[in-house]
């Protein structure tokens, strides 16, 4: 069966385009959205009428609804929604300015909710489909210097967990995807961005974080094309996983984080169980 995909965040070289390529390899059709759609036109021409590029700033709720309606009208509905648009900024918890914090949540969290809410009525009516929310390993283990970015991804994890249960009765399935370091353009802008931090006490830490990102750019071990195919393979499993960590680095960090958390919880079992009223 040919499926119709709606993918946000169609930056060349990123996960959005990797998902689009993988879906098209299967013979599916794709609506790929981007804030700069002109960057995708040459790529899209190679796929003819199986691809529709739609301009979209996911933080604009009106544009979101228009884009979803366009997709539904053009291809007859959405079978797979991939919430991929997002970006990470670094800064300290104490020192990042309020506007930066709110902008990050608008893009990485509230925009995801807007797209999900816009697409769900049509998907529920079809009685089947997939929602794939791109999270991050940072949504399972907070990353120093990226505290608010981590917070947005932790929020995505929580919403995805509940959404999965709420839409299951309608024939819909939901997965969170947590990539580690992948060779996208996510780090490309850091070399040209000076450290913006109101508190000098945190500048050495943030400069080290920025330098590490600049050094890693273009050398990340993760392959977006392989990552997208892994997600599609996971979607075909019976049952499919609720979440999928991508990349060896991400896998190792996630397993260590969860094992440490479980061990710590068990170490303090007596305190946890002691916080209840005594048995009568």
Q: What is the pLDDT of residue 222?
A: 81
Q: In tens digits, what is the pLDDT along the chain, a chain of 280 residues? A: 899 999 999 988 899 999 999 999 999 999 999 999 999 999 999 999 999 999 999 999 999 999 999 999 999 999 999 999 998 889 999 999 999 999 999 999 999 999 999 999 999 999 999 999 999 999 999 999 999 999 999 999 999 999 999 999 999 999 999 999 888 877 666 667 777 787 999 999 999 988 888 888 877 878 999 999 999 999 999 999 999 999 999 999 999 999 999 999 999 999 999 999 998 8
Q: What is the pTM of this model?
A: 0.94
- DSSP lists the bridge partners of residue 222 as 182
Gap between the Cα atoms of 104 and 21, Å rounded: 28
CB-count burial class (<10 Å; 0-12, 13-18, 19+) for 46: exposed
- DSSP lists the bridge partners of residue 182 as 222
Q: What is the pLDDT of residue 191?
A: 66
Print the SS3 string covering the chain.
CCCEEEECCCCCCCHHHHHHHHHHHCCCEEEEEECCHHHHHHHHHCCHHHEEEEECCCCCHHHHHHHHHHHHHHHCCCCEEEECCCCCCCECCCCCCHHHHHHHHHHHHHHHHHHHHHHHHHHHHHCCEEEEEECCHHHCCCCCCEHHHHHHHHHHHHHHHHHHHHHHHHCEEEEEEEECCECCCCCHHHHHCCCCCCCHHHHHHHHHHHHHHHHHCCCCCECHHHHHHHHHHHHCCCCCCCEEEECHHHHHHHHHHHHHHHHHHHHCHHHHHCCCCCCC
Q: What is the pLDDT of residues 177-188, one digit of tens each?
A: 999 988 887 766
Q: What is the pLDDT of residue 182?
A: 82
Question: Strand 243-246 and strand 4-7: pairing?
Answer: unpaired
Gap between the Cα atoms of 253 and 41, Å rounded: 38
Gap between the Cα atoms of 101 and 140, Å rounded: 19
Gap between the Cα atoms of 6 and 31, Å rounded: 5
Tokens of 127: 């009685």
Q: Which domains does the chain have, with CATH numbers?
A: 4-247 (3.40.50.720)
Q: List residues with catalytic annotation.
A: 135, 149, 153
Task: Find the angle CA(242)-CA(244)-CA(245) to the nearest 5 degrees.
Answer: 145
């Amino acid at each position: 069966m040919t499926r119709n995909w709606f993918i946000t965040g169609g930056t060349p070289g990123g996960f959005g385009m990797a998902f689009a390529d993988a879906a098209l390899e299967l013979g599916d059709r794709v609506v790929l959205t981007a804030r700069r759609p002109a960057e995708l036109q040459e790529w899209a021409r190679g796929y003819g009428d199986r691809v529709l590029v739609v301009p979209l700033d996911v933080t604009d709720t009106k544009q979101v609804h228009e884009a979803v309606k366009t997709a539904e009208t053009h291809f007859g509905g959405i079978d797979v929604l991939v919430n991929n648009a997002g970006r990470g900024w670094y800064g300290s918890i104490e020192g990042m300015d309020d506007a930066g914090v709110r902008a990050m949540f608008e893009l990485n969290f509230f925009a995801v909710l807007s797209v999900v809410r816009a697409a769900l009525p049509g998907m529920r009516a079809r009685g089947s489909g997939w929602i794939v929310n791109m999270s991050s390993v940072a949504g399972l283990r907070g990353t120093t210097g990226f505290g608010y970015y981590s917070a947005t991804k932790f929020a995505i994890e929580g919403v995805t967990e509940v959404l999965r249960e709420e839409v299951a009765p309608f024939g819909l399935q939901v997965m969170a995807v947590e990539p580690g370091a992948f060779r996208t353009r996510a780090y490309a802008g850091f070399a040209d961005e000076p450290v913006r931090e109101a508190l000098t006490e945190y500048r050495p830490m943030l400069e080290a974080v920025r330098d590490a990102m600049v050094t890693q750019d273009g050398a990340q071990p993760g392959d977006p094309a392989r990552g997208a195919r892994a997600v599609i393979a996971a979607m075909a499993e019976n049952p499919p996983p609720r979440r999928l960590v991508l990349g060896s680095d991400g896998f190792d960090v996630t397993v260590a984080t969860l094992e440490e958390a479980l061990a710590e919880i068990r170490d303090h079992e007596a305190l946890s169980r002691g916080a209840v009223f005594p048995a009568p």
